[in-house]
Amino acid sequence: MSAGLAVKFRWLLFLSYSLMLSGVSLTALNLYGTTRSLAPEVITLEHLRFKDKDVLMSKVAFQANRARYPDETDVDYAVRQTVAIAQTMAHVSWGTYPPEQFHQRVPIWENYILYLMGQFSGIPEFERYHYSSIEKSLERGIGVCGDVSMMLSQILDQQGIKNQLITFPGHVMVEADFGSHKQLFDPDFGVVLSKDSLYYQKDPDEFRQVYIDAGFTNDAENFLARGIQQKIQYWNGVSHFITKKYYFEKISYVLKWLLPVLLLAFGMYIQYKVKKIKAVAV
């Protein structure tokens, strides 16, 4: 065997061991992640926007609440889910705290692909990540209007209740179509409105009054009333609302397990080929 070929084999073996070590390390990281929870370690009243009116329902109770009652109407189900989401998710000021504190940046042990995107891509949506997955949002337990509206929209989808996500400057809500009428739901504030978005766009004072009647008088009602008078956009579900990120998230949770397997397999394949070529060369 020539000296040049021997050097090449050593480099190939080094590459194979590096790939296999990377595969083992990523698999170990993934397995470690299965023992961890996305739920923040500590959330106090100081962190919560709604203080003692926040986090009134446990996650276990919320999951039980998702079941539909016998003969429950679509409207009643939508109302119950809106209130339950608002009472379960912790409302933290999204940009106030370090992104690691409440796992807004996805931890490396949860999904190293999303972590790397949050750490190095420079894309704000990954630096403070909004999950499209109901289960991941619930596990983390924090959210703002976009997070909780995506949760509600998908829960209604699962029950065959037609709905759209609607956005206007500064807020995201859900508009459900019950056939006879459309109705707005705000799972961020836990507010149920009796009419649709176009109605309130023309009558923002009535829109404001609904929030005042629900106890929100800290200027949020004025902010929302100003917003709904502006351009309203409609989105046909979560996959339409955050199309690229929606699919990227799903793919990343498959790839985080598949990639280590491929690295291990490729490393083993290189070793196999080296041994085979060596046998012929000798």
Average pLDDT (233-255) is 97
Per-residue pLDDT band at 279 (split at 50, 70, 90): confident
Q: Is residue 174 part of a domain?
A: yes
How far is the C-alpha of 95 from the C-alpha of 124, rounded, in Å?
11
**Pair (104, 92) in one structural domain:** yes
147 and 11 share a domain? no
Whether residue 268 sits in one domain with residue 214: no
Average pLDDT over residues 188-197: 98
Residue 4: the pLDDT is 72
Mean pLDDT, residues 221-244: 96
Residue type for position 235? W
Return the percentage of the chain with pLDDT > 70, whole number: 99
Which of 2-11, 165-174, 210-219 has the largest mean confidence? 165-174
Expressed as residue numbers, the domain containing 19 is: 1-35+254-282
Average pLDDT score, the chain: 95
- DSSP3 helix / strand / coil % (the chain, rounded to 5): 55, 10, 35
112 and 152 housed in the same domain? yes
According to DSSP, residue 54 is labeled S
pLDDT score of 281: 65
Cα gap 274→260, rounded to integer Å: 21
Sheet architecture: strand order including 163-168: 191-192, 182-186, 171-177, 163-168, 233-235
Q: Over range 128-151, report the average pLDDT.
A: 97
Distance of CA 137 to the CA centre of its chain: 5
Residue 246 lies in a domain: no
**pLDDT category of residue 273 using cuts at 50, 70 and 90:** confident
- Are 156 and 193 in the same domain? yes
- 25 and 146: one domain? no
What pLDDT does residue 275 have?
Answer: 85
Q: Is residue 258 domain-resident?
A: yes
Residues forming a β-bridge with 192: 185
Kindly state whether residues 91 and 121 are assigned to the same domain.
Answer: yes
Report if residue 249 sits inside a domain.
no
Spatial CA neighbour of 211 closest among 190, 233, 231, 232:
190
Q: Are residues 211 and 260 in the same domain?
A: no
Same domain, 64 and 184: yes
User: How far is the C-alpha of 39 from the C-alpha of 36, rounded, in Å?
Assistant: 9
Q: How many domains does the chain have?
A: 2
Q: 124 pLDDT band (50/70/90 cuts)?
A: very high
